[in-house]
């Protein structure tokens, strides 16, 4: 996976970092038995996804590789 540069973009790092913080918030509030805090953490997790997708849309993510699928399909048929 290290050869494919999977997830090595500012959009991926930012989205995952925000989601990780949200999971930590939710986990802390589960231990404290505070449902409102748990759901606030889940909102932060969702926000991480939105931020990551927004940054990807702004060009900070990895561009899709369109040629790789076509070549793999041609090799399988050939």
Q: What is the pLDDT of residue 16?
A: 94
Using CA atoms, how far residue 26 sits from 29, 32, 46, in Å, is 5, 10, 12
Residues 32-53: tens digit of each pLDDT: 999 999 999 999 999 999 999 9
Q: What is the pLDDT of residues 9-24, one digit of tens each?
A: 888 899 999 999 999 9
Q: Provide the pLDDT for residue 63.
A: 76
- Terminal CA-CA length for the chain: 27
Residue 65 has pLDDT above 60, yes or no: yes
Rounded distance between C-alpha atoms, residue 31 and residue 46, angstroms = 21
Instruction: Give percent above pLDDT 70 in the chain.
Output: 76
As given in the structure block, the two tokens for residue 42 are: 């889940």
């Amino acid at each position: 996976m290290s050869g494919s540069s999977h997830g090595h973009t500012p959009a991926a790092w930012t989205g995952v970092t925000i989601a990780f913080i949200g999971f930590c918030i939710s986990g802390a509030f589960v231990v404290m038995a505070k449902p409102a805090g748990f759901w606030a953490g889940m909102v932060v997790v969702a926000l991480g996804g939105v931020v990551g997708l927004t940054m990807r849309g702004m060009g900070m993510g990895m561009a899709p590789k369109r040629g790789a699928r076509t070549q793999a399909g041609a090799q399988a048929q050939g």
